Amino acid sequence: MNPDDTTAPPSPLPDDDPGRTATMITADSDDVAHISLAGDTYTILLRGDDTAGRYTLIDMHVPPGGGPPPHRHNFEEMFTVLDGEIEVTFRGKTTTAPAGTTVNVPANAPHSFGNHSHGSARLLCMCTPPGQEELFMEVGDPVADRTAPPPQLSEDAIAERMAKAGALAPHYATEFVTPG
């Protein structure tokens, strides 16, 4: 801190909240939800309820051809590619993100990502504030584990889910966008 700084001292830290506990969880834990959506499997590691409304943490299994359509939302989204690689499109520009890459998507910016490789990709995604996990759970299909293949859906079932996602998106501060 600069000795010439005359700003007010920082506020003291609030007391510890003993009502909150530490969480230790794995993507294979019995306590997590595995949701198939857009050809991917999203394992909800921590929901907003688990973090006092601060963030959600999602383990994403993205097989070849997987990834969400172009969209934007009013919350920050950060993901780290743990395995494989994805292509990230941000404001119309596409870049490859290999394992070890962290991508931060600012709120309200149009983006998408997809796996155009021959192997699966694994991402760890954090959204702050939370809420995106709730949309995933409302629209997606529960599956057995984090690498389970998506259920086989009829064209009508796919259209139904897309319509449901479109109808619920505004409630979750999300919007699907047309590339261009």
Structural domain spans, the chain:
33-144+154-173
Instruction: Please give the Cα distance from 144 to 147 (Å, whole number).
Output: 8
Name the pLDDT band for 179 (thresholds 50, 70, 90). low
Other Cβ atoms less than 10 A from the Cβ of 69: the count is 13
Q: Which residues contact 107 (CB under 8 A, 6 or more apart)?
A: 73, 74, 75, 76
Name the pLDDT band for 2 (thresholds 50, 70, 90). low
Q: Which residue has the tokens 């889910």?
A: 161
**pLDDT greater than 70 at residue 4:** no
**pLDDT greater than 90 at residue 8:** no
Other Cβ atoms less than 10 A from the Cβ of 99: the count is 14
**pLDDT greater than 60 at residue 136:** yes
CATH number of 33-144+154-173: 2.60.120.10
Q: What is the pLDDT of residue 180?
A: 54
Mean pLDDT of all residues in 133-146: 95
Q: Which residues contact 163 (CB under 8 A, 6 or more apart)?
A: none
Report pLDDT digits (tens) over 49-88: 999 999 999 999 999 999 999 999 999 999 999 999 999 9
Mean pLDDT of all residues in 80-100: 97
Q: Tell me if 121 sits within 8 A of 62, measured CB to CB.
A: yes
DSSP output for 35-80: EEETTEEEEEEE-GGGGTTS-EEEEEEE-TT--PPSEEESSEEEEE
Instruction: Please give the Cα distance from 10 to 51 (Å, whole number).
Output: 24
Name the pLDDT band for 35 (thresholds 50, 70, 90). very high
Report the share of the chain in percent with pLDDT over 70: 96
Instruction: Please give the Cα distance from 176 to 80 (Å, whole number).
Output: 22
Mean pLDDT of all residues in 153-170: 93
